[in-house]
């Protein structure tokens, strides 16, 4: 309680500088309030402030939480622009984040004074925030997004008593593509492969990311092991039949898949542990002949 009292006392000095200050739990995405001498959930999702109905793709508080460092971000809420400062704090044995929000709509300028430059500013902010969590080659999410989003999905699946399935996909013998046709051709294959992944997942619920190189990550919330295997099989079959055009020549490739489903709410899952488990299944698929699912 002493830690909390000191924090609240310090925040008083920022009242005139910031339009909003709040304490959030970045994992549960909840805003906390100080009531009856303790921190309580308000039932308000932290992203509601930004007039959104879903999780932010580039969650600055999750970054502050993961990196244990103060993070800054420019974000839009309706027609207003905010500077957000996220500061990690430890209170009551909990790792939380203090968010300081300053309205900078009338203090930020962009362009040459034309009336449409303000719109471009909002577009630029959105593009910057997207770039932070997107793989520049494939347009899928990147490793940072996995680290920030997967803990939330793990918690949600546990609280809702729903299975969470993870699929690891690895293009077989991809090095031969690069060695034979060059890395630019290999990049084209990766882009086409990314499109196939997106085509076979649920747009509103599932998400996929480039884990690194030719390895890809698929998250399937509220999906059983059997259903996840069917998704992986549809992708595997589609890739096996697809004709990739590389340097003007038709090329056929295959892909190996590892699938793991966390379905026990008592199971203490972390990002590292669930990735280790699904990677183990991918290793089996490659060891047992590739172009298969384990």
Long-range contacts: 201-204, Cβ < 8 Å, 24+?
Answer: 201/231
Q: Which residues in 86-98 are b (16+ Cβ under 10 Å) and which e?
A: bbbeebeeeebbb
Residue 184 vs residues 6, 22, 191, 247: alpha-carbon distances, Å = 56, 47, 11, 9
- Is 214 an annotated catalytic residue? yes
Which among 198, 206, 293, 201 has a CA at the least distance from the CA of 254?
Answer: 293
CA pair distance 115, 112, nearest whole angstrom: 9
Q: Which of 75, 99, 148, 214 is catalytic?
A: 214
Using CA atoms of 205, 211, 213, 215 in order, give the dihedral in degrees to the nearest 10: -60
Task: Give the 3-state secondary structure of residue 289.
Answer: coil
38's enclosing H/E stretch is strand 38-45
Q: What is the DSSP letter of 254?
A: -
CA pair distance 265, 278, nearest whole angstrom: 18
Active-site residue set: 214
């Amino acid at each position: 309680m002493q830690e909390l009292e000191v924090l609240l006392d310090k925040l008083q000095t920022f009242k005139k500088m910031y339009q909003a200050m709040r304490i959030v739990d970045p994992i549960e995405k909840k805003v906390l309030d100080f009531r009856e001498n303790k921190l309580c959930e308000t039932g308000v999702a932290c992203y509601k402030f930004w007039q959104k109905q879903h999780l932010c793709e580039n969650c600055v508080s999750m970054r502050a939480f993961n990196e244990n460092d103060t993070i800054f971000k420019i974000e839009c809420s309706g027609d207003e622009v905010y500077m957000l400062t996220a500061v990690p704090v430890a209170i009551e044995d909990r790792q939380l984040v203090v968010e300081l929000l300053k309205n900078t709509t009338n203090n930020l300028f962009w362009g040459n004074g034309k009336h449409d430059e303000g719109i471009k500013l909002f577009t630029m902010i959105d593009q910057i925030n997207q770039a932070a969590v997107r793989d520049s080659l494939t347009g899928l999410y990147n490793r940072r997004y996995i680290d920030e989003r997967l803990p939330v999905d793990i918690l949600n699946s546990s609280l809702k008593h729903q299975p969470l399935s993870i699929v690891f996909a690895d293009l077989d013998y991809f090095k031969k593509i690069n060695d034979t046709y060059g890395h630019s051709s290999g990049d084209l294959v990766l882009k086409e492969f990314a499109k196939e992944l997106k085509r076979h997942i649920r747009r509103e619920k599932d998400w996929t990311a480039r884990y690194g190189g030719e390895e890809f990550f698929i998250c399937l919330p509220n999906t059983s092991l059997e259903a996840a295997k069917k998704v992986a099989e549809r992708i595997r079959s589609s890739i096996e039949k697809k004709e990739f055009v590389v340097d003007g020549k038709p090329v056929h490739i295959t892909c190996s898949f590892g699938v793991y489903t966390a379905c026990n709410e008592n199971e203490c899952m972390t990002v590292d542990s669930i990735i280790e488990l699904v990677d183990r299944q991918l290793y089996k698929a490659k060891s047992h002949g590739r172009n298969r699912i384990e």
